[in-house]
């Protein structure tokens, strides 16, 4: 049959069945586009025979393609897929093309911005060839990035909850348990089925007060969170410690719907902490408190003594004879002995007292609540008796005693460290007394000693700050009217008080270690000045006062020899050492030998203040001195006091009899000069001749010829 023909200008009939069908198809297509646009689906249409893929507007947007995009090949599209996802996508597509069901796959597509977008791709074959070959597939593409992210987060949250090392508990607003994780069951020992529905109160240990839990709930209600430590009880009664927090979970209206608790088991940490604290504050051998804990206990004991108006005894104890035990029987036995002594000390103390080990065989004790010092003596007498009891260790009977030093607070009002030092000083006194006794510290005597040490320190500072200097008082021969030498005299040029004479500060230095250092400085300065006088054209002998301790020091001769060696051209006899006749020498023979050794170095000796001591004749006879100095107390009053005049005459006579040079000190007037000259003493010094003066003034005095006036 030949189809009917129409003329070229004829128009289709809109009401014909074909046109109506086409119109309905177009309208359906348009509505379908609206539907897909509304649900956000990207539509693709793949012509398998040409490998062309066309997409709707949403499909282009999802892939980051321009909306004017018309189509691409399936091979080109596969290049957009993440490389590691391509094989899975190809397998799913082949599954569908082989007739095994619809196509479904999830994979990642690289967006032009560089980010990867998760998509869900679904479709099916809609047209086949006569031989069964698929010709066309239509499908949809949707963005599932947020869905995948939410799913991943959900899986992560579930995994964290299930596998978290910390215990997690979820409760309602009344603290009834809704869920727990595995760690919670492992830590508490309960099965999950034994916990769900129970109130968290059943876990309480009883170590926290009701006020503790009241405060916890107040914070949860007020702040929505609580953090801290809890002690709870396991299924079989063991206590365990937890550290963590409880947080409120609120709905969109801000109302609390649940509580989530996250806790770590810190029982081992707490036990380790307790053990470390014990080690930090206790002696490892005896388990007694150590120095650190003793300091805290002492603070409390002193506060209690002040509060109760009682005495606190602070004692320092050292064992007598412990070293021989260690040396003879070994350190193991020595350690056992220390443990036994520690036990006895603890047995002698009361609940509020403290016994601490200071190290080695030294212990410290604090006894509280003593009413008077006599009670203290009774306590320590019993303690000494208990320590001295024999002890049998490894088949050996051993015995030691103790030396104890005690100070009483507040009679001794020092700070804790000083109290312990005072007790240590008193212990040393007990040790010097022979041991097996106690000695009570004397605060008054200690204040005196501290004042003396402070005085020595002030003079020592003066030396270091170059405030000490030597002045020189001339000695003259009034018969020849010339200067024969000078005496070096110490002065302190104080920055606030001016020049201070040695009588005000030198006595404090005597018998101290600094006395030797000061004496060496005076000697060195005097020797330097002897050379300076010689360089200025006025070679003068210089005499220096030397204390008995300085003279007897083991290094005195060697030090003196080193000083003189600095000036090898200095004539012999330019240095004279003056020793006080009033000094008592315990070994006059040893002193004589030291003096003789010094004389071999060219040093002369003078006996100062002659007539004031008790050994004048003995010293004259046994000490190799060249000069006798008449004490100024006799010279000053010789014109008014016949006894003093007789002493002066006697000394001059002794000097002549022993063939010693004699010089008179303290000459103040011309009448004294004339009287001494008449008695046969022509060597003098004193204010009547010249006052002590610094070296530069002395040279001016010499040049002006003052010696002959």
- The DSSP code sequence of 402-454 is EEEEEEEETTS---HHHHHHHHHHHHHHHHHTTSSEEEE--HHHHHHHHHHHH
pLDDT reported for residue 134: 92
The residue from 271, 299, 334 where one domain ends is 271
C-alpha span between 230 and 238 (Å, rounded): 14
Strand partners, 127: 136
Distances (CA, A) of 706 to 542, 570, 588: 18, 26, 40
Identify whether residues 114 and 211 lie together within a single domain.
no
| Helix, strand, coil abundance in the chain, percent, nearest 5 | 45, 25, 30
Enumerate residue ranges in the chain where pLDDT < 70. Answer: 1-15, 18, 21-22, 25-40, 67-70, 150-161, 163, 446, 449, 581-586, 611-616, 706-709
pLDDT reported for residue 30: 66
Identify whether residues 222 and 371 lie together within a single domain.
no
C-alpha span between 256 and 274 (Å, rounded): 38
Identify whether residues 194 and 123 lie together within a single domain.
no
661-664 and 627-630 as β-strands: parallel, antiparallel, unpaired? parallel
446: in domain:
no
C-alpha span between 489 and 495 (Å, rounded): 19
- Nearest Cα neighbor of 338 from 355, 352, 351 is 355
Tokens coding 300: 């409390």
C-alpha span between 113 and 111 (Å, rounded): 5
- Using a 10 angstrom Cβ sphere, with 0-12 exposed, 13-18 middle and 19 or more buried, the burial of residue 228 is middle
122: in domain:
yes
Longest dimension (CA), the chain: 188
C-alpha span between 584 and 422 (Å, rounded): 33
- State the CB neighbour count (10 A cutoff) for residue 31: 10
CATH number at residue 348: 3.30.70.270
Identify whether residues 378 and 490 lie together within a single domain.
no
pLDDT reported for residue 585: 66
Backbone angles phi, psi at 236, to 5 degrees: -100, 15
Tokens coding 136: 């066309």
Backbone angles phi, psi at 257, to 5 degrees: -115, -30
pLDDT reported for residue 132: 87
Identify whether residues 407 and 518 lie together within a single domain.
no
Q: Say what the pTM is.
A: 0.48
Strand partners, 43: 140
CATH number at residue 53: 3.30.450.20
Q: How many residues does the chain have?
A: 709
For 188-213, how does the pLDDT look when each residue is reduced to its tens digit (9 = 90+)? 999 988 989 999 999 998 888 989 99
466: in domain:
no
604-610 and 542-545 as β-strands: parallel, antiparallel, unpaired? unpaired
- 106-139 in b/e form (b: 16+ CB < 10 A) is bbbbbeeeeeebbbbbbbebeeeeeeeebeebeb
280: in domain:
no
Q: Cβ(407)–Cβ(444) under 8 Å?
A: no
Domain interval for residue 362? 288-441
Distances (CA, A) of 39 to 124, 140, 141, 421, 614: 19, 11, 11, 90, 130
C-alpha span between 597 and 607 (Å, rounded): 17
Our count of domains for the chain comes to: 4
- Residue reference for tokens 């702040």: 223
20: in domain:
no
C-alpha span between 556 and 562 (Å, rounded): 10
- Rounded to 10 deg, the angle between the 373-387 and 331-348 helix axes is 150
DSSP 83: G
C-alpha span between 265 and 276 (Å, rounded): 19
- Nearest Cα neighbor of 394 from 441, 332, 341 is 332
66: in domain:
yes
482-494 and 468-477 as β-strands: parallel, antiparallel, unpaired? antiparallel
The residue from 149, 173, 195 where one domain ends is 149
Identify whether residues 402 and 542 lie together within a single domain.
no
The residue from 119, 149, 179 where one domain ends is 149
Identify whether residues 609 and 660 lie together within a single domain.
yes
pLDDT reported for residue 266: 81
DSSP 237: S
Identify whether residues 505 and 639 lie together within a single domain.
yes
pLDDT reported for residue 263: 87
Identify whether residues 339 and 264 lie together within a single domain.
no
Identify whether residues 625 and 485 lie together within a single domain.
yes
437-440 and 362-370 as β-strands: parallel, antiparallel, unpaired? unpaired
CA atoms within 13 A of residue 655's CA, in its CB half-sphere: 27
**Residues contacting 119, CB < 8 A, separation 6+:** 62, 106, 107, 108, 109, 141, 142, 143, 144
C-alpha span between 537 and 283 (Å, rounded): 72
14: in domain:
no
Identify whether residues 330 and 239 lie together within a single domain.
no
Q: Cβ(491)–Cβ(468) under 8 Å?
A: yes
686: in domain:
yes
Identify whether residues 196 and 301 lie together within a single domain.
no
- Residue reference for tokens 């049998």: 392
**Residues contacting 243, CB < 8 A, separation 6+:** 228, 229, 230, 263, 264, 266
DSSP 289: B
CATH number at residue 563: 3.20.20.450
- Nearest Cα neighbor of 527 from 571, 463, 496, 558 is 571
Backbone angles phi, psi at 561, to 5 degrees: -60, -40
């Amino acid at each position: 049959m030949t189809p009917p023909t129409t003329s070229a200008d004829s128009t289709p009939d809109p009401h014909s069945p074909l046109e109506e069908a086409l119109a309905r198809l177009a309208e359906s297509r348009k509505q379908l586009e609206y539907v897909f646009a509304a649900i956000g689906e990207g539509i693709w249409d793949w012509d398998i025979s040409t490998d062309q893929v066309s997409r709707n507007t949403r499909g282009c947007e999802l892939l980051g393609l321009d909306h004017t995009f018309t189509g691409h090949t399936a091979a080109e599209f596969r290049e957009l897929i993440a490389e590691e996802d391509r094989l899975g996508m190809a397998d799913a597509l082949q599954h569908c093309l082989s007739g095994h069901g619809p196509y479904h796959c999830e994979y990642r597509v690289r967006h032009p911005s560089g980010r990867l977008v998760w998509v869900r791709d679904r479709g099916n074959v809609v047209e086949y060839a006569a031989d069964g070959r698929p010709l066309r597939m239509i499908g949809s593409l949707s963005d599932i990035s947020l869905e995948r992210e939410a799913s991943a987060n959900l899986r992560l949250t579930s995994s964290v909850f299930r596998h978290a090392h910390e215990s997690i508990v979820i409760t309602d607003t009344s603290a009834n348990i809704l869920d727990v994780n595995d760690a919670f069951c492992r830590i508490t020992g309960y099965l999950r089925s034994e916990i769900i529905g129970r109130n968290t109160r059943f876990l309480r240990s009883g170590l926290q007060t009701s006020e503790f839990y009241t405060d916890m709930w107040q914070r949860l209600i007020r702040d929505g969170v609580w953090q801290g430590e809890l002690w709870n009880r396991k299924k079989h009664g063991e206590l365990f410690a937890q550290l963590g927090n409880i947080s409120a979970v609120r709905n969109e209206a801000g109302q609390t719907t649940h509580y989530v608790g996250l806790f770590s088991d810190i029982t081992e940490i707490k036990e380790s902490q307790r053990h470390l604290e014990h080690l930090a504050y206790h002696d490892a051998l005896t388990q007694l408190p150590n120095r650190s804990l003793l300091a805290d206990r002492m603070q409390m004991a002193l506060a209690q003594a002040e509060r109760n108006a009682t005495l606190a005894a602070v004692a320092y104890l050292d064992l007598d004879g412990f070293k021989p035990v260690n040396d003879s029987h070994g350190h193991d036995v020595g350690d056992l002995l220390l443990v036994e002594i520690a036990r006895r000390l603890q047995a002698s103390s009361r609940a509020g007292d403290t016994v601490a080990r200071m190290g080695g065989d030294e212990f410290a004790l604090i006894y509280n609540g003593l009413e008077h010092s006599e009670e203290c003596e009774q306590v320590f007498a019993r303690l000494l008796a208990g320590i001295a009891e024999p002890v049998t260790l490894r088949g050996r009977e051993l015995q030691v005693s103790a030396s104890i030093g005690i100070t009483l607070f507040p009679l001794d009002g020092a700070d804790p460290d000083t109290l312990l030092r005072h007790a240590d000083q008193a212990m040393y006194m007990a040790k010097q007394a022979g041991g097996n006794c106690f000695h009570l510290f004397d605060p008054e005597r200690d204040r005196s000693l501290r004042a003396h040490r402070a005085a020595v320190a002030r003079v020592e500072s003066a030396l270091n700050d170059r405030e000490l200097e030597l002045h020189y008082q001339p000695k003259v021969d009034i018969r020849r009217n010339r200067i024969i030498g000078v005496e070096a005299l110490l002065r302190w040029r104080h920055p606030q008080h001016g020049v201070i004479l040695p009588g005000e500060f030198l006595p404090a230095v005597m018998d101290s270690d600094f006395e030797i250092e000061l004496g060496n400085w005076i000697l060195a300065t005097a020797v330097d000045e002897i050379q300076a006088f010689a360089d200025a054209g006025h070679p003068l002998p210089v005499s220096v006062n030397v204390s008995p301790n300085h003279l007897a020091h083991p290094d005195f001769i060697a030090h003196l020899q080193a000083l003189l060696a600095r000036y090898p051209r200095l004539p012999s006899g330019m240095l004279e050492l003056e020793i006080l006749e009033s000094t008592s020498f315990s070994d006059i023979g040893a002193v004589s030998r030291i003096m003789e050794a010094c004389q071999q170095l060219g040093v002369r000796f003078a006996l100062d203040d002659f007539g004031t001591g008790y050994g004048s004749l003995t010293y004259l006879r046994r000490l190799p001195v060249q000069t006798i100095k008449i004490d100024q107390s006799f010279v000053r009053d010789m014109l008014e006091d016949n006894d003093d005049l007789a002493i002066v005459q006697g000394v001059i006579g002794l000097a002549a009899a022993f063939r010693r040079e004699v010089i008179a000190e303290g000459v103040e007037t011309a009448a004294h000069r004339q009287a001494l000259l008449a008695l046969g003493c022509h060597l003098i010094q004193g204010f009547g001749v010249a006052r002590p003066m610094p070296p530069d003034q002395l040279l001016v005095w010499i040049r002006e010829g003052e010696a002959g006036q």
